Chains A and B, each alone.
Chain A
């Protein structure tokens, strides 16, 4: 950093016409360099004084007050009790407790740089929103930060960043409010300082965020170790996720302390994720308990039942209650399903994507397996009978019945929510089946489709998606293995043209799925092909024999490309799909599956 400052300022002074060289800059430049260093050190020093004074001083500066044990504040009394409990569980000395009484968002943090001077700060919103167990889980998370020694390092990072921010602030002062009206020699210097400060702060944040994300996972794990109650922590995170439209903290002073907080809200873009101090809530929940959403569902059902039982004063539970509850569930479900063509191409792929109704159908591994097989059941009665025959032959009677049952119960959802179902079911299977068994499942599926004569493009793409999600390797084709030179050539390819044949193949299938009249398909294909390449390729159709094998090879060739090329490919597909301002259902699923099979889900989601 020092060298960068030196070189930049020296170069700047030369550019302004001062005499001197990079190594021996002119006197004003030297003065400026000294000034910058002074600012950094002073900024860092002030922050250091803050940190040294202990967390209590910082907390008070942010407007937090000491938690009261008077009975009027029974929430705070509870908080104090919980802190005392957790400090026993973690064998940590008891810290002071502060409350941000005017803060309505849910958050908590721990401040302080030295042992015995830590303070735990929680927001009023957290006290309002969480029950005792959840509060305990959050406090345990904060204690985990203390216990794992995150604070000294965090505080050092804070000091360093404080110094860098000071540069930016001094630059801001020099530039002033109206730099155009009131130009003076300080203005360009101010801009330079601001640029330097911003670059420094940016990289500082990047490092801090990467460090912080790992520590958050660790703190979650330790919190569970202290309380032995993973459910409470996961449910606390779910509550926060439900209120994700709120900022993680309203208090602007505390924003800079985001990495010390319990949560920092969710961000979606990759560049935001790079700077995020916390992993996404879903990833944290998954890390605590991958099956949390089902368990919560079950627990809620149970409490519903007990409440219904209480309402009836012990009378035998009325069938209508559960039927009514079911109707409400399916009602909300129907409501959420209605959406125009402008709804995002892919819904949230994680737990929330699968509706509650489907979740109820998926309590264990065998039902998850059944739903995967049910995805390939055709609407055509003849093909369907064939499929079930082969299924009974390959598996047993019972499994076939299970698959039939799934198809009977949710015929529509199977197609509409295909992606979410795959995501969920494979998530369960990936954790519970061994690698060999997953491979076997995929082989069976593949053979089933080939024997059943229903190896269509859509089914193929779905299968590839399941394969990727189950983390089973592509079986590398013999042709590709024997022709190593070809693979090498494909890998070296930097442009689209090299993969024109593969691209044209996928493209023609995509055009075909768009649902346009058969006569116009050829013209349409030529039109979109012209958009990116001059070479001519014949249009292919999904009904050709052997097309799937070719497609397999095409996917493999594409999959071996660097991610940027794959992304560009998917980008092209999206453009083609959106060209006519109408996204057909088949087009959309095909595109999503292409994107997912090629590992670029985030593009299709945008």
Chain B
């Protein structure tokens, strides 16, 4: 009778602990998924800004078609990849593909900026200045969103791997989250849109 009560008590405690851990993991998972959707929103914003930039720039630099085409192409690839990844942010290979597409876009933008340095008229254009501010801000937002995402991923992964949460995590298939990182260190550099 007495020992039955004790066993019951222990079971209840274990169940409550498991539920608490499960809820915590769910909360952290949703936080990092939301973190990704934040990056996604900002990347979309960037993808929308780039055609505007290319259009404004092309009015001034007719002989640089190649560079402009490269930027547009890279933008389209990255945009597609981003849509795919947004549907399933926990897929490791998709995340990596997006990261490398982003890297390609970044380096294309870098080339465009170098070319634009040769066109003082373009730099003086009012619309261009607005676009520049918008783009600079978006770059920052992407960076900060990635920062927040990385923090959220780290919190989630730590919580997932700790004992006893790891038992609950494996039982309920909480997968390991993937950081949003590019392999190539050169690609990690942000686009420097300098109009000094």
Contact = CB atoms under 8 A, between A and B. Distances in A.
Interface string A49-78: 000000000000000000000010010011
B38 A88 contact: yes
Nearest to A132: B136
B119 interface: no
Nearest to B35: A91
A85 B141 contact: yes
B148 interface: yes
Interface string B91-122: 00000000000000000000000000000000
B133 A86 contact: no
A81 B144 CA distance: 13
A132 B132 CA distance: 13
A86 B42 CA distance: 13
A7 interface: no
A84 B137 contact: yes
A86 B143 CA distance: 11
A88 B136 contact: no
Contact of A74 (B35, B133, B144): B133
Interface string B139-150: 011001101100
A89 interface: yes
A78 B148 contact: no
B55 interface: no
Interface in A244-258: none
B130 interface: yes
Interface residues of A, number: 16
A82 interface: yes
Contacts of A132: 136
A408 B140 CA distance: 49
B134 interface: yes
Given A88-B144, A88-B145, A89-B148, A81 B130 contact: no
Interface residues of B, number: 16
A132 B137 CA distance: 10
Nearest to A226: B144
A228 interface: yes
A449 to B, nearest CB: 51
Given A74-B133, A78-B133, A84 B147 contact: no
B147 A89 contact: yes
A91 B137 contact: no
A226 B144 CA distance: 8
Name the prevailing secondary structure of the B interface residues. Answer: helix
Interface string A79-98: 00110111011010000000
Contact of B144 (A71, A77, A85): A85
B141 A88 contact: yes
Interface in B12-71: 35, 38, 42
A365 B144 CA distance: 35
Contacts of B133: 74, 77-78, 81
B148 A82 contact: no
Contacts of B148: 88-89, 91
Contact of A84 (B126, B136, B141): B141
Given A86-B144, A88-B148, A81 B134 contact: yes
B140 A85 contact: yes
A84 B38 CA distance: 12
B147 A228 contact: yes
A604 B51 CA distance: 66
A81 B35 CA distance: 19
A81 B137 CA distance: 6
B137 to A, nearest CB: 4
A203 to B, nearest CB: 41
Most buried by B among A77, A88, A89, A136: A88
Nearest to A91: B148
A219 to B, nearest CB: 18
B150 to A, nearest CB: 11
A115 to B, nearest CB: 17
Nearest to B139: A85
B130 A71 contact: yes
Interface string B142-166: 0011011000000000000000000
Contacts of B140: 81-82, 85, 136
Contacts of B129: 74
Nearest to B130: A71
Contacts of A89: 144, 147-148
Contacts of A88: 38, 42, 141, 144-145, 148
From A77, A84, A89, A136, name the one whose CB has the most chain B CB atoms within 10 angstroms.
A89
A91 B37 CA distance: 13
Nearest to B126: A71
A71 B129 CA distance: 10
A89 B141 CA distance: 8
B105 to A, nearest CB: 20
B64 to A, nearest CB: 22
In the complex, the 3 A-B pairs of residues with the closest C-beta atoms, listed nearest first: A89-B144, A81-B137, A85-B140
22 contacts: A71-B130, A74-B129, A74-B130, A74-B133, A78-B133, A78-B137, A81-B137, A81-B140, A82-B137, A82-B140, A84-B137, A84-B141, A85-B140, A86-B144, A88-B42, A88-B148, A89-B144, A89-B148, A91-B35, A91-B148, A132-B136, A136-B140
Given A82-B140, A85-B144, 13 more contacts: A77-B133, A81-B133, A81-B134, A81-B140, A82-B137, A84-B141, A85-B140, A85-B141, A88-B38, A89-B144, A89-B148, A91-B148, A228-B147
